[in-house]
Amino acid sequence: MELDIKMIGDVVSIVLKGRIDANTAPVIEQKLLSLISEGAQKLVTDLSEVWFISSAGLKALLVALKEAKREKGDLLLAGVQAEVREVLELTGFSTIFKVYACAEDAAQSFSE
C-alpha cells in the first residue's frame, strides 16, 4: 500500500495505491485522522489505484468520515474501481459516501 498526499486547491487529496486490508487500514485511518486534527476539512480519498478493500478498510474510511463531519468537514471518495464499488454497494457504504469519477471532480464539488 502506498499513500500520497497532494493538494487540489484547498482540498487535501489522499491517493491510495494497492490493497486496503487489515494490515494497511490502521495506517490509512491514522493518516486521515491526523490530517483532520491538523485542520483539513475538505478531503478526497482517491481510490483509482485500489483494487481491494476489506471490512477493516471500510471501517477506517467510515471513522475518518465521521471525524471530518464532526469537525464541520467532509471526506469524499473518487476514482472507485469496479471491484471496490461492488463492495461499497453490497455493504451499503455507497449511500454513506459521496463518490466521484475522479479526484478533481470531487474537489470541485466542495465549491458548488
pLDDT digits (tens, 9 = 90+) for 95-109: 999 999 999 999 999
Cell numbers representing residue 24 in the block = 494497511
Q: Where are the beta strands (DSSP E) in 1-112?
A: 2-8, 11-20, 42-53, 74-78, 99-100
**Average pLDDT of the segment spanning 7-11:** 96
Look at the domain 2-106 and name its fold.
Transcription Regulator spoIIAA (3.30.750)
Residue 63 has pLDDT above 90, yes or no: yes
**Average pLDDT of the segment spanning 9-33:** 97
Q: In what order do the strands lie in the sheet with 42-53?
A: 2-8, 11-20, 42-53, 74-78, 99-100
Residue 54 has pLDDT above 90, yes or no: yes
Looking at residue 112, its pLDDT comes to: 83
Average pLDDT, the chain: 97
d(CA 89, CA 93): 6
Model-level pTM? 0.96
- Write down the domain spans for the chain: 2-106
**Average pLDDT of the segment spanning 3-29:** 97
Helix (H, G, I), strand (E, B) or coil at 82: helix
